[in-house]
Structure 1
């Protein structure tokens, strides 16, 4: 066999094996990157969930409202035309018909009352909806505050 042909054959074999090694390396790196990405996503999801739980307010319904079939859903606390977070929007679920005026009392982390707001809630059995409690403009509902509804 011609030495030139042998040289070309060896060169072609080296080129093919290098290409195969490069492809396997690329696959390995892709798998590693995928695993790192999944781990990082799970880590940040966990951190986010922990922060959410730490910053949540506690909403407590009175025994009377609970006995009348009222349940809470989601809520938001935001401001109404100024910087303090003084507006509570609360999703309420009616398991029985109810029409009553309620008072929301906000307490800071130390358990001191910081504000009150009244609103009328009305719903039929099976109804649900959002209700707003507008506190005094000096009230600033902060993180980890407690709000009771009586």
Structure 2
């Protein structure tokens, strides 16, 4: 009888431990899930914050517009160093185009502080991402304005 009681008690304790272990695992998994979602939202928020902080703009010269050039999205990133000196623009060509397109960057006061030129050949109704890489000393500032000519 004493042995039966010991076996029964041991069974209850081992089953109870499994229940506690499973509950702990579930809690850890749920915590990891919540932290993962929070981290993802944090990263998205930081990226959006950087985008909003720079608040740069791009315009296309009238001359390029007459040649059928327009653009969609653009973004600014680092080339190979630690400075934001690369402008990537999704260019749209309404007409056949062959030639140079230059990008000039101006600060918030209108002072030019960088230029980059790219030679492009594109067919009518073609669109593609194009990188304008400025001098390594160029670091795109907040509220800068890019002009494509």
TM-score, length-scaled by structure 1: 0.68
* Higher-Rg member (1/2): 1
Quote how far apart the aligned CAs of 1:15 are. Answer: 1.8
Corresponding residue for residue 110 of structure 2: 111
Determine helix, strand or coil for the equivalent of 1:147: strand
| Structure 1 unaligned residues grouped into runs of 5+ | none
Q: Tell me: CA distance 1:25–1:111, structure 2 relative to 1, closer, same or farther (3 Å).
A: same
Determine helix, strand or coil for the equivalent of 2:92: strand
Query: Root-mean-square deviation (CA), in Å?
Result: 3.7
Q: 1:51-90 to 2 correspondence within 5 Å?
A: 51-55=50-54, 57-66=56-65, 68-72=67-71, 73-74=73-74, 90=89
Q: Which runs of 4+ in 1 moved over 4 A?
A: 73-80, 83-91, 99-103, 115-122, 129-135
TM-score, length-scaled by structure 2: 0.68
| Structure 2 unaligned residues grouped into runs of 5+ | none
Q: 1:1-150 to 2 correspondence within 5 Å?
A: 2-55=1-54, 57-66=56-65, 68-72=67-71, 73-74=73-74, 90-99=89-98, 104-115=103-114, 122-129=121-128, 140-144=138-142, 145-150=144-149
